[in-house]
C-alpha cells in the first residue's frame, strides 16, 4: 500500500515509503508471547484449585484484565506507533510522519537539503538498519532513527536531491 495520495501535491510521485525497521517490534513481540504464556500458566494453575466457581471466575477476570493492560501497553501500543510512523521520499520532498493519537510530522523540500549522512553500528549493520541524518538550509540536522536499508535510502536521497537541483555535481 502506498502513502496516502491526499498529502501529495499534484504530479508528486512517491519514490520511497518506509516504516521504521521491524527490529523495533522484537521486544513487544517477546512481551506478547511471554505475557500470554505466563497468564495461561497462572489460569491453568487456578483451574486446578478446588475453589468456589465464583472465586475462580473473579481470579480469571483479574488475570485477563492484567494481561489486557500489559499487552495493550507493552505490545499493541508500540506496534501501532510503528505502523503509524512513515518515512517518505518523493520527487519533491522528504516527509516524516508519526503518532497515533497526536500526529506530527516534518517536510523538507529536496531543494533545501544541504547534506545527507547515515550512521550505523555493528548490530545495525547486521539488521540492515541505521540512522539517516538530513541537514537542510534552515535547521539543525534531523536524525531519523531505525531506517531500514539506510545505505540504500541514503544513496537514493542523494540522487533525488541532485536530480532536483539539476547541478553539475549530479551523480551519473
Q: Between vectors from CA 111 to CA 130 and to CA 18, what angle results, nearest 5°? A: 30
Note the pLDDT of residue 60: 96
Is 0.75 surpassed by the pTM of this model?
A: yes
pLDDT band at 170 (very low <50, low <70, confident <90, very high): very low
Note the pLDDT of residue 1: 43
Closest CA to 27 of 81, 84, 74, 77: 74
pLDDT digit string (tens) for 48-84?
999 999 999 999 999 999 999 999 999 999 999 999 9
pLDDT at 149 over 60: yes
Average pLDDT over residues 138-145: 86
Which pairs count as long-range contacts for 145-148, CB under 8 Å and 24+ apart, including other chains? 145/20, 146/20, 146/21, 146/23, 146/24, 147/18, 147/20, 147/21, 147/87, 147/118, 148/18, 148/19, 148/20, 148/21, 148/22
Note the pLDDT of residue 6: 77
Phi/psi of residue 18, nearest 5 degrees: -135, 150
pLDDT at 167 over 80: no
The Cα 143–Cα 133 span in angstroms is 5
The Cα 137–Cα 69 span in angstroms is 45
Phi/psi of residue 50, nearest 5 degrees: -95, 55
pLDDT band at 150 (very low <50, low <70, confident <90, very high): very high
What class, spelled out in words, does domain 13-19+86-165 have in CATH? mainly beta
pLDDT digit string (tens) for 7-56?
888 888 899 999 999 999 999 999 999 999 999 999 999 999 999 999 99
pLDDT at 3 over 50: yes
Amino acid at each position: 500500500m502506498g502513502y496516502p495520495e491526499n498529502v501529495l501535491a499534484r504530479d508528486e510521485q512517491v519514490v520511497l515509503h518506509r516504516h521504521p525497521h521491524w527490529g523495533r517490534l522484537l521486544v513487544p513481540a517477546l512481551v506478547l508471547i511471554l505475557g500470554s504464556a505466563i497468564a495461561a500458566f497462572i489460569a491453568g494453575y487456578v483451574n486446578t484449585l478446588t475453589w468456589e466457581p465464583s472465586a475462580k471466575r473473579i481470579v480469571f477476570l483479574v488475570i485477563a484484565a492484567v494481561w489486557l493492560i500489559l499487552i495493550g501497553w507493552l505490545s499493541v501500543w508500540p506496534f501501532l506507533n510503528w505502523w503509524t510512523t512513515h518515512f517518505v521520499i518523493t520527487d519533491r520532498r522528504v516527509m516524516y510522519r508519526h503518532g497515533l493519537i497526536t500526529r506530527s510530522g516534518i517536510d523538507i523540500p529536496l531543494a533545501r537539503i544541504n547534506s545527507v549522512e547515515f550512521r550505523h553500528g555493528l548490530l545495525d549493520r547486521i539488521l540492515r538498519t541505521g540512522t539517516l541524518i538530513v541537514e537542510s538550509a534552515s535547521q539543525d540536522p534531523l536524525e531519523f532513527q531505525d531506517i531500514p536499508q539506510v545505505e540504500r535510502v541514503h544513496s537514493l536521497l542523494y540522487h533525488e536531491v541532485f536530480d532536483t537541483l539539476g547541478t553539475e555535481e549530479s551523480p551519473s
